[in-house]
Structure formats: C-alpha cells, structure tokens
Structure 1
C-alpha cells in the first residue's frame, strides 16, 4: 500500500515536470513565431477583420478609420464616406486599436495576393494615370494639393492646383518633386482611390 502511494507520488511529480517543460517549450515556440510576424502581416489581419485603427504618423499627424488595403510598403485607411488615406509604412509611428484587435493581429497573415505585393510607386502611378486629385500631407507638417503627374522608384512629381479644380495647364500653380520618405499620407476622395 505504501509503495502504491510512493509510485503515485512519483508519477504526479513526473507529470508536473512534463507539463512545466511542455509549457516552457510552447512559450518559447510562440516567442519564435512572433519574432517572424511583421507589421505588414499584422495590418493584413486588421484589414481582414475590418478593424478600426488610429494611425499616428511621422510629423505628428494621424488618421482614424478602417484598414481597407495593404501593399508591400503602404496601407490604406478608409476615413469615412468621403476619403481614403494611403500611408507609407515608413511614415507610421504607431497604431492604436482595441486590445482584442491587437492580440488578434499577432496571429499574422498567411499567403500573399498580388495586390499585397504592390508597392507605393505602383499606387501613385495608378493615381497619375487616372489624374486623381490628391491632398499630400508631408512629414514636416506641410500640405499640398494637386495631381500626381508621374511616380519614380522613390519619389513622385505633383502638379500643384486646388483640389476642386481639374488638372489643366491654366489651373496649375507649380510643380513639386516629393520623395516617398517625405510623405506622411496621401488623401484621395473615396470614389477615386481605386482600392
């Protein structure tokens, strides 16, 4: 009888040690998995969940809304019925969201659709092709309005004019070459975004 208790005791100790070791391995495995999840992966989960976020931008600006698209180096936030903001990942200083969405986004995103590989230059070239008027907010706090004329690998050319005026040579007041690194966000009318 005493031997039975001894063996039961040893078995309980071994089981507890096994559970502790398994929990430690699972915890380490989760840390390794999380180390491979990128900000972009988390944004894709937030997009799929149609999560509301508050994006804090370089230069102190921000945008609130639902994540609607994610590309290779940018994401888009639906600001409501009137406009969409295109935000370069490099211009992001933080995201605010409910805790449940924060935890859910850590799951990461598997797979990659073609749209998710499109870079900021591709989006800007599309806006240039369609002659969409835009509001450009720069990292330094300045704002510009006009039409993207062309987009290169790391910059774009903007024809400056009022947002409510079509791009016509007589309406253009100047031109500006804008490096992608200076872009905090680009605001497009919701129907014109193409996202």
Structure 2
C-alpha cells in the first residue's frame, strides 16, 4: 500500500514538472514571437482604434489610426489628418492587443519618400512640423530626394505661386515630426 502511494506521488511530481515545462516553452515561444514584431505591424493592428501619439518634440496627436505604411502612419484627428513618421514617434498610448503585417509587398515599400513624392506631384498644400522645436511651416513640396524634401514656404491660406514663396527650405526626412493639413 505504501508503494502505491509512493508511485502515485512520483507520477504526480513528473506530471507537474511536465506541465511546468510545457508552460515555460509556451511562454518562451510567445516572447520570441513578440520580439519579431516590428513597430509598424504593431501600429497597423490598431487601424480604426483611437490612440495618443507623443512625438519626439513633445506634441501629442490623438485620433483613430487610418493608414499605416512602412515608415509612417496617418491619424484622423479632430482637426484633420496627421501623418507621423515612425522615426518621430516618442510613445503611443491606448494600444489594443492586435498586430497586423503589411497587406501587400507594395504597402510594405511605401516609405516616406513615396508619400512626399505624391504630395509634390499633386501640389498638395500642407504644414510640416519640425522635430527640433515643433515649428510649423506651411507650403508645398517642390522636390523630393532620397532622404530630404524641399518645401516652398508660403503664408497660411495661400497657394504656391512664385510671388508668394517666402523661402524654399531643404528639410531632411529625419527632421519631420508630422505632416498636417494647413492651418
């Protein structure tokens, strides 16, 4: 009879050890899976959700995640869309549990240059907020290089015309904190 109790005790110890080993393996696999998720996939999983993004210069944008590219995202804020480069993100608050990979290879390649070239092609009036001090400059993008853009600065509310251009500014992509609809 004592032998039966001993064997039952040993079996339960081995079963508990096996259960712990399986739980540890599951936890380790979860950590490895989470470690492979890139920032933009994490943000893409929030499409439609309202989040608060604090940029490196300290500006807070709150709104629903609308589009997520390879290096940027667009929030629908109460005052219009705000495109925020991934490199300008300081923190994000209000995330759900989801992640989502890019829907296509094309989406995965839509970097900042692609978006800025589309703005330049369409002569879209916009406001660029700089990362260094949060200054906002109204204008139209004249040209886009590999890692910079040239913005023709115009007074708020005016279209780009030769006589309305106050200055043409070269702005590295890394200096862009946000791109907004003009004020």
Answer yes or no: same fold by TM over 0.5.
Answer: yes
Report the Cα distance in structure 2 between the residues aligned to 1:110 and 1:137, rounded to whole angstroms: 28
> Does the 8 Å contact 1:55/1:92 carry over to 2?
yes
Q: In the alignment, what sits opposite 1:175?
A: 168
1:111 Cα deviation from its structure 2 partner: 4.9
Report the Cα distance in structure 1 between the residues aligned to 2:145 and 2:50, rounded to whole angstroms: 31
TM-score after normalising by structure 1: 0.86
Say how many residue pairs are matched: 180
**Counterpart check, 1:75 vs 2:73:** yes
Residues 95, 21 of structure 1: CA spacing in aligned structure 2 closer, same or farther, 3 A cutoff? Answer: same
DSSP 3-state at the match of 2:155: coil
Alignment of 1:109-148 (within 5 A): 109-113=100-104, 114-140=106-132, 141-148=134-141
Unaligned runs of 5+ in 2: none
Residues 165, 179 of structure 1: CA spacing in aligned structure 2 closer, same or farther, 3 A cutoff? Answer: same
TM-score after normalising by structure 2: 0.91
**Counterpart check, 1:43 vs 2:43:** yes
Would you identify which runs of 4 or more consecutive aligned residues in structure 1 move more than 4 Å? Answer: none
Q: In the alignment, what sits opposite 2:146?
A: 153
Name which of 81, 96, 118 aligns with 2:93: 96
Aligned residues: CA RMSD: 1.6
Unaligned runs of 5+ in 1: 190-195
